Amino acid sequence: MFLKMTLAAMMLALAVPLYTAWKDDDIWQTMLSFSSLATKTAVMILVVSVLRDDWMIGMVGVIILCVGNAGLMLLAYILNRIDSP
């Protein structure tokens, strides 16, 4: 029951980066919001894997956490360096 309530709270927490990405026109802030969204989604995948007792789903969550945001953050850094004088 506690894990299901935690999962529901995590789904509500996903609304914050979505609102930030929708509201802001700055590409740097938008990319950081999507990175936050990807991290929260990966943690939710880990919670679901604990609920289902399925370690393969958990491995997907771990791979997303380890590698998933690296390309997005590199692109955000490059865009930030291009925009700065």
- Length of the chain, in residues: 85
pTM: 0.68
CA 26/CA 18 separation, integer angstroms:
14
Query: In the chain, how many domains are there?
Result: 1
**Residue 7 in tokens:** 């999962």
Instruction: Quote the pLDDT of residue 85.
Output: 67
CA 48/CA 16 separation, integer angstroms:
21
Q: In which domain, by residue range, is 40 found? A: 2-83
**Residue 12 in tokens:** 């509500």
Q: Write out pLDDT tens, residues 26-76.
A: 777 777 778 788 888 888 888 889 888 888 888 888 888 888 777 777 777
Q: Write out pLDDT tens, residues 66-84.
A: 887 777 777 777 777 887 7
